[in-house]
Amino acid sequence: MTWRRPLLTTVLCVLALSPFAFSRQARPKADNAQMRTQGAKQNASEGEKRFRTNCGRCHNAPEEISPREARAVVRQMRVRAMLSAEDEKLILQYLAP
Amino acid sequence: MKYRWLLSVVLLFGCSVRVQAQENVPILSGGAGFFGAAQGGVHFYQPVLAPVLTVPLGEKWLVESRADLREFISRENGTSGPYQGKFFGTLEYLQLDYLANSHVTITAGRFLTPFGIFNERLSAIWIDKFQDPPVIAGIGTGRGYSDGFMLRGPLVATPGYQLNYAVYFSTLSTVNKFESQRGTGGRIGIFLPRTRLELGASYRRTLQGGGENFQGVDLSWAPYAAPVEIKSEWAHSDGGHGYWIQASYRLSHLTGRDSGLGRLEPVIRMQQFFRSKPVPDDFLPTGNLQRPEFGLNYYFPHEIRLNGSYARQYFSNTTDSNVWEFGITYRFLFPLWPGGSK
């Protein structure tokens, strides 16, 4: 009988605090997802800028390019246009988000 | 039991290759075109196919190749007689690239000679805004390609400026269709990303025969404020020296890039060449030449471009002539094996 009351109190406390615990875990997850989306948008925007700066001064952007094709195209442009590894990464994120 | 183990390994290897294949899909791109020209009463036509094969291998390797396949169709006696065709096939590059780090790419095989800006960047038929290459395109590049190895990349890359370089060594080859000259050279350029202005200097020395030096300077400017592109090269060889300067202006700011008027791009080019002395097989005019040109490019949807141009050619060795040119190019790109869009 003596051990039932502390156990019941502990279970009730855990149940009472659990929404806070979950909400506290959930909020950073939402923030992380939001930050990742913002980061991806920023990278895509920076990638578009790098594309205009480097590729756009010699030729137009391809009208349609699938993500499957983009990797080979950007790799080739890295060699041809002497892009840095960072340029390659950002332009790839822009062409194949 | 050991067969089951072997089967597992094979299946695992197959899956890993498939995963890698999905990431690194080889592509076939390039351009197809049909060109026509009339100069001094002589008409000729050229259907052209320029396929580009690009095969990325893992994270560091790339195999790339471009060929130029064309039929040169003209009358048998210049201005009279039946039309006849002659086929020309050229392997312009077939190279293996190793991306050692952000600053160095090592290339081996046949590659476009890095001299000036035209040969490497603008010579593709779907990029070049005129049908003919500049008359000085042969200075420092010869046939346009070299067989050997090359180091290239951005030496310094900051938001304010980029310093890029390419150095190469080319071997002598007399194999039919794979001829190349023994030589060495390179190009160094400084690019200002904020203004899209680039200045470059090139040098080449042939290491056969008497040895010949080539020097070149190039400029490229594409301001952000307007859809204008200005490009220019000056080059010097023992046989002569010359320059070309080209300006294009796409009318996209008036009614939008995809509007009827916004797809039109007038372009002008002026070029001069001054012969110093005759040099056999130097791919240059045999005398002094001046050539002002005016052209119009129209960019249709689906990567189709129409172009037409007029040039007046003043040539010291023959009478002056008008040069009319027209062409249509189609730029294509597709993966080499089927799959989804992702």
The pLDDT tens digits for B172-189 are 988 877 788 899 999 999
Q: Is the pLDDT of residue B341 over 80?
A: no
B211-225 residues labelled b (16+ CB within 10 A) or e (exposed) = ebebbbebbbbbeee
Chain A stretch 17-56, residues whose beta carbon is closer than 8 A to a beta carbon of chain B: 52-54, 56
The pLDDT confidence band at residue B18, using thresholds 50, 70 and 90, is very low
More confident: B293 or B77: B293
Give Cα B245 to chain centroid, integer Å. 17
The pLDDT confidence band at residue B339, using thresholds 50, 70 and 90, is low
Contacts of A97 (CB under 8 A, 6+ apart): A40, A44, A67
Q: Is B82 helix (H, G, I), strand (E, B) or coil?
A: coil
More confident: A15 or B215: B215
The pLDDT tens digits of the residues spanning A4-22 come to 665 555 555 444 444 433 3
For residue B130, the model assigns a pLDDT of 95
Least confident of B24-28, B238-242, B264-268, B337-341: B337-341
Distance, CA of B61 to CA of B105 (rounded, Å): 10
Residue of B nearest to A60 (CA): B127
User: Mean pLDDT, to the nearest integer, of B320-331?
Assistant: 95
CB contact under 8 A, A68 and B335: yes
For residue A21, the model assigns a pLDDT of 37
CB contact under 8 A, B29 and A73: yes
Question: Residue B220: its chain A contacts at CB < 8 A?
Answer: 57
Distance, CA of B237 to CA of B216 (rounded, Å): 9
Q: Is A8 helix (H, G, I), strand (E, B) or coil?
A: helix
For residue B298, the model assigns a pLDDT of 97
CA distances from B79 to B41, B74, B85, B282 (A): 6, 9, 15, 27
CA distances from B146 to A2, B92, B113, B213, B319 (A): 91, 9, 6, 16, 35
For residue B151, the model assigns a pLDDT of 98
Closest Cα in chain A, distance from residue B127 (Å): 6
Paired tokens of B189: 């350029």
Distance, CA of B24 to CA of B335 (rounded, Å): 10
The pLDDT tens digits of the residues spanning B217-260 come to 999 999 999 999 999 999 999 999 999 999 999 999 888 888 99
The pLDDT tens digits of the residues spanning B111-126 come to 999 999 999 999 999 9
Count A/B contacts: CB-CB distance under 8 Å.
Answer: 93
Q: Is the ipTM of this complex over 0.85?
A: no
Least confident of B20-34, B58-72, B276-290, B319-333: B20-34
Helix (H) or strand (E) holding A47: helix A4-50
The pLDDT tens digits of the residues spanning A19-48 come to 433 333 344 444 566 655 666 667 778 898
Question: Residue B233: its chain A contacts at CB < 8 A?
Answer: none
For residue B324, the model assigns a pLDDT of 97
Q: How many other C-beta atoms lie within 10 A of the C-beta of residue B261?
A: 10
| φ/ψ of residue B175, rounded to 5 | -65, 135
Closest Cα in chain A, distance from residue B164 (Å): 7
Nearest Cα to B224, choosing from A67, A51, A71?
A: A51
Question: Residue B152: its chain A contacts at CB < 8 A?
Answer: 79, 82
Whole-model pTM: value is 0.83
Name the burial class of residue A80, with classes exposed (0-12), middle (13-18) and buried (19+) by CB atoms within 10 angstroms of its CB: middle
Is any Cβ of chain B less than 8 angstroms from the Cβ of A71? yes
For residue A23, the model assigns a pLDDT of 37
For residue B78, the model assigns a pLDDT of 81
**Which residue's structure tokens are 């000729």?**
B44
Average pLDDT, chain B: 90
Closest Cα in chain B, distance from residue A63 (Å): 7
The pLDDT tens digits of the residues spanning A38-95 come to 666 677 788 989 998 988 888 877 778 888 889 999 999 999 999 988 999 999 998 8
For residue A72, the model assigns a pLDDT of 92
The pLDDT tens digits of the residues spanning B304-317 come to 999 999 999 998 88
Highest mean pLDDT among B2-16, B72-86, B109-123: B109-123
